[in-house]
Amino acid sequence: MNDGLSRLGWSAFFAAHLAPHAADGLSPARVMAQEKLLYIVHIGTAELEAELSGRFCHEAERTGGYPAVGDWVLVRPQESACPSRNLQSSICNPESSADRAIVHALLPRRSGVSRKEPGAKTAEQVIAANIDTVFIVAGLDRDFNPRRLERYVATVLRSGATPVIVLNKADLHSNPAGAVAGLGTIAAGIAVHAVSAIGASDLAVLRPYLRPGETVAFIGSSGVGKSTIINRLLGVERQQTGEVSRAVGKGRHVTTRRELIPIPGGGLLMDTPGLRELQLWGDETELGAAFGDVAALAAQCRFRDCRHEAEPGCAVRAALESGDLDPERLRNYESMQRELRFLKKRQRWTKMKKHQPRPPDTHRGETE
């Protein structure tokens, strides 16, 4: 196996999908950064500026299957790769004389963090592809929101990656250990670390996750300190950081694109723009992984279609009355279920509308 590709996360999983393209003379490459439909890909020995082939672009427009940062694609370099370009470089100037490539195919993803695309459009937006671990970063300041954290946990558990909760700004909290303990069932089976990005020594607890050939993505709201943590882990001020607004306690968008950043010694980090909203994508049955306690209680209800309101033998209501279940957690769970049901209805409606025959053009062939 190419050592350069191995450092980028290439594995037997992706190699197994090369067979259909063996005769095409294409090279595997990982998407390192993206600006609209312009990409920076790495072939293991060099970074190349890349764009989609006309055929691939047409197919991707029809299916929504565009490459995302972290994806593995198959490319045909347009010039010989320049060894002077290395893994530490950022996205390039499109007007530079750097080597280029054409993307002809997208390999299947091993994992993918997705959300519904913001706005009215019913489409999936891939936040991070082929990730091993996701650091869900929240700030222990006045913007801390356990309900928002539940939404992030549900999204990451669906992705196939391993979630790790990172509670940053521990220096601003009077009892960080208590905050960790207070997460309770939100973090069931998930590692939780309270840290302060101000002190690099605090972040030593995160380094065991940064293994050679593996990728760690950071997701969270604006202003929680993702880029600051990345800078501390890298040992250089690579990512731009910004202040949190004192007026509203919310962060400003500083990271404006998703980008894979190689770590000296192996492994990669992915910074992502702060998320103002995280609309769910998927099926409501997948929420059970993030709300295992609620799902287990619901399975004990007398009636399979129990609405957990006034039905006799409702285990969920009993848990609420005994204090074993947080009513806010149940409300959030039910709200997320409704959101995913509505998403499913919209998907069906969109599919029906797409396949609806167009009305005949009654004016065709008429003359004035």
Torsion angle defined by CA atoms of residues 130, 135, 138 and 139, in that order, rounded to the nearest 10 degrees:
-130
- Helix/strand number for the chain, H first, E second: 9, 13
Classified as helix, coil or strand, 143 is: coil
Distance (Å, rounded) from C-alpha 33 to C-alpha 257? 8
Mean pLDDT of the chain: 84
Residue whose C-alpha is closest to residue 63's, from 109, 28, 106? 106
Q: Residue 101 is inside which H or E element, if any?
A: strand 100-106
State pLDDT tens for residues 23-75: 788 999 999 999 888 999 999 999 999 999 999 999 998 888 899 999 999 99
Q: Which amino acid is at 206?
A: L
Write down the pLDDT at residue 354: 66
Classified as helix, coil or strand, 202 is: helix
Phi and psi, residue 13, nearest 5°: -60, -50
Write down the pLDDT at residue 273: 79
State pLDDT tens for residues 143-184: 788 999 999 999 999 999 999 999 999 999 999 999 999 999
CATH for 3-106 (2.40.50.140, 2.70.98.10, 3.60.21.10, 3.30.365.10): 2.40.50.140
- DSSP 8-state code for residue 310: S
In the chain, the largest separation of any two C-alpha atoms, in whole Å, equals 81
Residue 69 buriedness (CB in 10 A; 0-12 / 13-18 / 19+):
buried
Distance (Å, rounded) from C-alpha 156 to C-alpha 168? 18
85 Cβ neighbours under 8 A, 6+ residues apart: 46, 47, 48, 98, 99
pTM for the structure as a whole: 0.84
Query: Which CATH number is associated with domain 284-351?
Result: 1.10.40.50
CATH architecture of 112-271: 3-Layer(aba) Sandwich (3.40)
List the chain domain ranges: 3-106, 112-271, 284-351
Secondary structure, 3-state, 244-261:
ECCCCCCECCCCCCCEEE
